[in-house]
A = this chain, B = another copy of it.
Amino acid sequence: MVASLATVVRSAVFVVLMGFCCVILPYSNALAQNDPLPSWNSGAVRTSITDFVARVTTPGGADFVPPAERIAVFDNDGTLWCEQPIYFQAAFALDRVKAMAPHHPEWKSQQQFKAFLSGDKKALAEQGEKGLLTLVTAAHSGMTTDEFAKSVADWLATAQHPRFNRPYNELVYQPMVELLAYLRTNGFKTFIVSGGGVEFMRVWAEKAYGIPPEQVIGSSGVTKYQLDTAGRPSLLKTAKVQFIDDGPGKPVGINMMIGRRPILAFGNSDGDHQMLQWTMAGSGARFAGIVHHTDAAREYAYDHPSKVGQLDKAWEEAKAKGWTVVDMKQDWNRVFAFEP
């Protein structure tokens, strides 16, 4: 993306640095049962999904869509997995900076690192987004893509969510895992379209959701192809931003990476608004869904007016146009697979 540094910094910070919550669920579990959506309560929301799928998959029906065109796109943070109290990728970045600190004595004299590493939250807050971005960038660049992937895998194997005391990748929403599998069983190709870092998500998305790396779309940094002295190639992650897959960047990313307009889209915040609009503007049968966080007991209740997962403009359009709004508390009988 060609963008001013200020825009890039703001966007990257917005994407990566808000909000903390997981159970790796074999994504095929849902298929093992007669009801493909056992975690969804009966009602208008569930029916809107199953009716849509029936319409687009009935050969000869007015709304039939050939399998190759059954593209379904899902936001990740707050739609497929938890995003509270901070985006999990931000939690990763902050933990990573702590782990890397012993190897970076020069950080002791740099304001942002000094404030964060000494636990001086006030000093860190005073530096605002710029200070946080410095930390995130440190955790995401200056290493090869293979080294980065290993750092994510290592973190997932040890880090725990502060409230649920479980590995972060166990905090995926069981009803959405079932929905992804249900769609694939019905010939859909499922994609993640997230503001999060694409290389962060690909490490765990296949196991968590059954979505392979090539169907994960996200924000990315510029990588540089290099050969070592033995002629072995690697890709070095630089600190430059390549593409921000958020807000109006989502339809742009869909066009660039998929090249076909989805017929189903699910999001949970204004960062998904344009993706939902873009999906609904196509011809034929269309489905737009929004996950509304209403369950403080089992997950979190938020959305508006919190900045994390802000749902304002998309909410208004959903109400005006009759898009499906999932009330977590009402529509899901289970949020996480680890619930008793």
Where the two chains meet, the residues of A that have a C-beta atom closer than 8 Å to any C-beta of B are: 1-2, 68, 71, 145, 189, 191, 198-199, 202, 206, 212-216, 220, 222-225, 227, 232-233, 235, 240-243, 248-249, 251-252, 255-260, 274, 277-278, 281
Q: A227 contacts which chain B residues (CB < 8 A)?
A: 277
Q: A241 contacts which chain B residues (CB < 8 A)?
A: 2
Q: A240 contacts which chain B residues (CB < 8 A)?
A: 2
12 A–B contacts, CB within 8 A, in A order: A198-B256, A213-B259, A214-B258, A223-B255, A224-B248, A224-B252, A225-B248, A225-B252, A225-B274, A233-B251, A233-B274, A242-B256
**What is the count of identical protomers in the complex?**
2
Q: CA separation between A256 and B189, bound complex, in Å?
A: 19
Q: A199 contacts which chain B residues (CB < 8 A)?
A: 255, 259
Task: Say whether A259 contacts B216, CB under 8 Å.
Answer: yes
Task: Say whether A252 contacts B281, CB under 8 Å.
Answer: no
Q: A252 contacts which chain B residues (CB < 8 A)?
A: 222-225, 235
Task: Say whether B1 contacts A281, CB under 8 Å.
Answer: no
Say how far A148's CB is from chain B's closest CB, in angstroms: 11
Task: Say whether B251 contacts A225, CB under 8 Å.
Answer: yes
Q: CA separation between A206 and B66, bound complex, in Å?
A: 14
Q: A2 contacts which chain B residues (CB < 8 A)?
A: 2, 222, 240-242
Say how far A258's CB is from chain B's closest CB, in angstroms: 5
Residue with the greatest number of chain B CB neighbours at <10 A, chosen from A199, A241, A252: A252
Q: A223 contacts which chain B residues (CB < 8 A)?
A: 252, 255-256
Q: CA separation between A191 and B199, bound complex, in Å?
A: 19
Contact A214-B189, Cβ < 8 Å, known A198-B256, A222-B1, A240-B2: yes
Q: A1 contacts which chain B residues (CB < 8 A)?
A: 222, 242
Task: Say whether A260 contacts B68, CB under 8 Å.
Answer: no
Task: Say whether A214 contacts B260, CB under 8 Å.
Answer: yes
Task: Say whether B213 contacts A258, CB under 8 Å.
Answer: yes
Q: Which 5 A-B pairs have the closest CB atoms?
A: A213-B259, A225-B248, A214-B258, A202-B259, A213-B260
Task: Say whether A255 contacts B222, CB under 8 Å.
Answer: no
Q: CA separation between A223 and B249, bound complex, in Å?
A: 9
Q: A145 contacts which chain B residues (CB < 8 A)?
A: 255
Residue with the greatest number of chain B CB neighbours at <10 A, chosen from A189, A202, A255: A255
Q: A68 contacts which chain B residues (CB < 8 A)?
A: 206, 212
Q: CA separation between A198 and B2, bound complex, in Å?
A: 18
Q: CA separation between A215 and B278, bound complex, in Å?
A: 21
Task: Say whether B281 contacts A232, CB under 8 Å.
Answer: yes
Say how far A149's CB is from chain B's closest CB, in angstroms: 9
Task: Say whether A251 contacts B274, CB under 8 Å.
Answer: no
Q: A220 contacts which chain B residues (CB < 8 A)?
A: 256
Contact A214-B256, Cβ < 8 Å, known A240-B2, A251-B225: no
